[in-house]
Amino acid sequence: MQKITAAITGVGGYVPEYKLTNQILETMVDTNDEWIRSRTGVEERRILKGEGLGSSDMAVEAVKELCQKTGIPMDEIECLICATVTPDMVFPATANIICDKAGINNAFSFDVGAACSGFLYALTLGSSLIESGRYKKVIVVGVDKMSSIIDYSDRATCIIFGDGAGAVMLEPQADGNGVLDSILKSDGSGRQFLHMKAGGSVKPATVDTVLAKEHYVYQEGQSVFKFAVKGMADVSFELMERNNLTADDIAWLVPHQANLRIIDATANRMNLPKEKVMINIQKFGNTTAATLPLCLWEWENQLKKGDNIILAAFGGGFTWGATWLKWAYDPK
């Protein structure tokens, strides 16, 4: 008998309507469309507008679409894991708020904080719950409202990030498809290059921290870039090697959308042609925990049962990793 694996059985997604284009950014900071495109690949990003709206509101839209597409009633969901660095509040968990707003009443739920690798971490955790045999329906969400922690006078960061949410359903399967292997890594010493200075227990919010703009993303871009290129490419290659996968075996690479140059470096290391790489950074920018599920959401109709897919990410922490899965269904 085949071992029980966790298969993705549906994908939902949501991006806000408002498009913050490079042309609009040119009017806000000293930058230009050519620089942004050539250094990052981003052309526009979506921004959640509206008083009182947070990450949970985007996630709820993605989860509703997911449940509608899979036909699974909300009250059958047993667990919801939310990956985010922009929770609605410091506590409680945004996952709890998503469940409440979506009408998921019989689940336990919690957040995972692993920045841009959050979705991969959460997917691995959710898969383990399914593999244990104890749970049959787990939702994994990746969501970030990056616009809530970006300084729109800092040209080094405001050009990259955007808002969005994606969600997948995990269910048990015994036909050999599903999540098959993951390598996850972290190195806390990398925090110096990418973090938020205040608002945590070390430096709680004060008038001074607000005036010093310490509640925004602080990033030393070049240093992060170097670690990201090496981290994402190495871990993806390692995952291929230990599972005896060649470039020909792989149908799709789903890379974190942080910078087109990092994506290219990873694809090159894996020897994959561009046609096998999901890229939507030009439309959505870097939505942190939402990039991977938003790619699956956009490409869902092109994915076939049995397709070998590698997801790869690198982000704050540092955190990074790669996951190998076999897609579990044909386009519907």
Binding site residues, ligand UT7, CB under 6 A: 31, 35-36, 39-40, 116, 155-156, 159-160, 221-222, 224-225, 228, 258-259, 262, 286, 315
- Identify which of residues 224 and 240 has a Cβ nearer to ligand UT7 in the complex: 224
Kindly give the pairing relationship between strand 108-112 and strand 138-145: unpaired
Instruction: For residues 44 and 217, give the distance between their C-alpha atoms in angstroms, rounded to a whole number.
Output: 19
The angle subtended at Cα 64 by Cα 62 and Cα 65, nearest 5°, is 65
> Residue 234 carries which DSSP code?
H
Q: Shortest Cβ contact with ligand UT7: which residue? A: 221
Stretch (H or E) spanning 181: strand 178-186
Catalytic residue list contains 256: yes
Backbone φ and ψ for 232, nearest 5 degrees, come out as -70, -40
**Residue 106 tokens, joined:** 């019989």
- Give min distance, CB of 207 to ligand UT7, in A: 29
Annotated active-site residue in 79, 82, 256, 259: 256
With beta carbons less than 8 A apart as the criterion, state whether 268 and 232 touch.
no
- Residue 39 or residue 185: which is nearer to ligand UT7 going by CB? 39
Contact indicator for 156, 150 with CB cutoff of 8 Å: no
- Report the residue number, 66 or 279, with the smaller CB distance to ligand UT7: 279
Q: What is the spatial distance between Cα 100 and Cα 112, in angstroms, rounded to a whole number? A: 18
Question: C-beta of 112: minimal distance to ligand UT7 in Å?
Answer: 16
Cβ proximity of 112 and 125 under 8 Å: yes
Catalytic one of 67, 116, 158, 295: 116
Residue closer to ligand UT7 by CB (options 218, 329) is: 218
Q: What is the dihedral of CA 193, 195, 197, 198, to 10 degrees?
A: -170
Give the nearest distance from C-beta 237 to ligand UT7 in angstroms: 18
- Closest CB 258 distance from ligand UT7, rounded Å: 3
* Residue bearing tokens 């399967």: 173
Residue among 65 and 163 whose Cβ is closer to ligand UT7: 163
Counts for the chain of helices (H) and strands (E), in that order: 11, 13
The β-bridge relationship of strands 5-14 and 44-47 is: unpaired
* Least distance CB 61 / ligand UT7 (angstroms): 23
In the block, which residue shows the tokens 């925004």?
216
CB 239, CB 183: distance < 8 Å: yes
Q: Minimum distance between the CB of residue 101 and ligand UT7, rounded to whole angstroms?
A: 27
- The answer to whether the CB of 14 falls within 8 A of the CB of 165 is yes
Q: Which is nearer to ligand UT7, 110 or 227 (CB)?
A: 227
Which residues are designated catalytic? 116, 256, 286
